[in-house]
Structure formats: structure tokens, C-alpha cells
Structure 1
Amino acid sequence: MKKIIFFSIIFFTIYGPLQAQESKTIRVKSGNDPVRVIPMSDKYRFARFTDGKIYYVNSVSAGKLNYSILLGEIHFIGPKQDTLSLANEQLIKKVSIGESNFYYAKEKGYVEEIADFNNIKLGISQIIHMVNSEKEGAYDQSTGVASIRSYKSLATGNSSLQRLQLKGDILLAKRVNYFLIDQNSRIHIASKANFLKVYAKHKKMIATYIKQEMIDFKSEKDLRKLLSFCNQLS
């Protein structure tokens, strides 16, 4: 996976502690490369690379884009039809892929907008994590006993896939986190504290509503419900 820097004249050719949900697990047999064996539908947000744009601080570029759930990166098709990942992510204001918009924050990665409540948006991040790995047993057979490794991201600091040194099968799952995106495109983890921060003028009413409705901050349905209530107060 290569990183390149974009300028407007060039054609197109991961995280602190979060509240998260895990989806179905994917087993990768010992010795296999996750990038090669995981189906496209599980490792990318979209079924195919789609027309999109990257809005930098001082420029805009366009190309065929997709979001890699496996690596937490925006990928594009290069001039040689190879798959490349974006560099200089700190200069990105927004990425549009088809009808979907993604925002970037260094400590949180890419967050996709899934609902807009006037000035505040609800966002979601999706990335594949290692749930656990199974230790190798006698005669190179997987024992089925979970190792002490748990919930480690497959993406390293430079966004390349980790070399998994542990022998034995690994189990992967998609981790989902929810966020608030404010009017300045700043990204906040969806939590009670951040709701009260973003809607500071209505803290008391919102705190009461959260308690009465028993809002689950890991539930998209509950977050939409809470945002609808907050939007009525604004």
C-alpha cells in the first residue's frame, strides 16, 4: 500500500478508547493474508470504487474512491490501476464518495456522516479489529483457545497491515463507533458529556431527557432520537 501526496494539479489516477459495537466475526486461517482472503464486501464500505472528491484545505481532487474498513483508509485507483491510499490526511476537510461524506480526525480516523440535524451531524466509523487469535496447538492445529491478544486494530500507525506474528487462526470483527460532527466539522465521540458540550445552552433539559429515555450511546436509533430532541431545542 503506497502513500502519495496530492496537489490540485494531480489527477487521481487509528484510536483512543471508544464505545463500540462488534459485528459477526471473520476467521482467517493461520498463515493467510487477511487482505487477500477477506471478501470485498467485508473489507470495503462500497461494493465498488465510486466517483468521489477529496476536499483539501486549499484544493479539490477527484477520482474513483472507496473506504477500507479493513485499514481505516480512503483508497483510490491510481494511474496504473493499482490501489493507493491517501496521504496528508491532516489537510483533508471532507471526502465525498457518491452520496456519502467522510470527515477525518487524527485520533478518530474517518467518520461517515449518516444523518444531518441542522448544524450537528451524526457520524459512524467502521473498522475491522482483531477480536482474538487462537493459539497454535499440537501438529500445527488451531486449539480454539483464545489467546491473550484482544481488540487490536489491524491498522498500524502508518496505516499498513500489521504482520501478525502469532501462529494460529485469527478472528476479526467490524467495530462500529458513533460520533457527533459539529458545525466546524470537529468530531466528538457520541457520549453524554459531548452532547452536553455541543448543546451547552440546553444542558439541564438534555441531561433529564437522557436519563428519562435511558439513551444508549451505542445505539444508532437512540442517538437519532436524542439528536431529534436536541434539534427541537436549538
Structure 2
Amino acid sequence: MLARRQVVSVCATATVDEIERTGGTALAVGAELGVDNDVDTLFTGVEAGLAGRPLDILVNNAAAAPAGPLGATTRKEFDHLFAVNVRAPYFIIQRALPLLRDGGRIVTISSVATRMANPAQTSFAMTKGAVETMTMTLANELGVRGITVNAVAPGATRTATNGSFFEAPGLVELIAATTALDRLGGPDDVADVVAFLASDAARWITGQVIDASGGLFLGPRAG
């Protein structure tokens, strides 16, 4: 079984391959967020890859997983969550702004955890609430440059890195039963929303949080 870091590396390589197959150019830059000098490490690779060209789109997608309920979360886990989920995207945006062209796009991944009361995800939901506030305030600040700033809030989404979580008996069925569109989400369900926000078609949308959960926990479903 591959470790999470190995899975992420494999996914990054596959993404680069897919972009190049469709005629684009891409490079993968490895950096661990939430540690000292994380943003410097990231942008050393990014700036080298850009080679003086402007940055068009920034998507903040990396995140640390929920640490657990209030009674079980340690200070170390709490600090790590905020370092990865809040501090990293904030300073990544700060570092990216001189590179980002006027009319560029910033999209940050939030979560439906901000609109639900889930005691097992209190600290995680707090981090996502922070980036949603950041999204609104930065949209107001950066609009004069034509830069749109939005967030996307996925629900339960099976990916290459979390697939084992959904192997618990009955979990997928339970999630589907509480989702308006009656199924578990997949990466493309979220990626397509991000792609829309990054496109010219979304040029008049900014400061918004777009729910991409398939209608998770909207309320009781008709029997």
C-alpha cells in the first residue's frame, strides 16, 4: 500500500502527463505545507517553472484532514490544521500576487463543514470558515485588478488519497441517502466547478462560496 505522500506524488505526475497529452505544458513542484519555509520552497519551484511569465490561476487545494472532536483534538493537531488550512493559503496568495496577472483567478477549496454542526470536525470547520472570510475580503481588495476570488465547498468526495475511508461498511450508502443527488461525489464533480470559476465565463463572480456537494444535508428527503 502506498503512503499518502507517495499517492500525492503519483497524482501530481499523472496530472502533468494528462496536461501534456492535451498539448499543454506543466511541471510538478513538491512542498510540504504547514512547516517552516513551506511557501519559500513552493515558490522557488513555481518561479523557476514560470521563467518570468505571469501566473493566471491560483487554486488552493491542499488541506489537512479533520483532527477529531473537541475532547480529543490535541494542541499539536489543532496548530497543524491551521498551519496547513489557513496560514499556508494566506501566505501563498501573498507570495503569488506579484506574479498573478490582472484579470487572474484565485480559487480556494473550503468545505460544507462550515454550514453543518459536526462535533467531529469542529477545528476543521473553523479553518474552512477562516478561508471563506479570507475569500470575501480579498475579493473586495483585488477586484480593482480584475482578479476574482472565490471558494468551492465540496461535500463527501472520494479521491485517490482518501478512498480507504469510504470502505467502511454502509458509509457510502449513508452519505448517498443524505445527499439530494443521491450519490457520493468524485474529483471531477468538484474540479469542473473550479474550472468554471477559473474561466472567463465566471468573470462576474467574485467573493462567493460555491457549494459543490450534490446537496449534502439539505434537509430530510422525501421517502
The normalised TM-score by structure 1 is 0.27
Structure with greater proportional helix content? 2
Q: Which one has the largest radius of gyration? A: 1
Answer 1 or 2: which has greater strand percent. 1
TM-score (ref. length: structure 2): 0.28
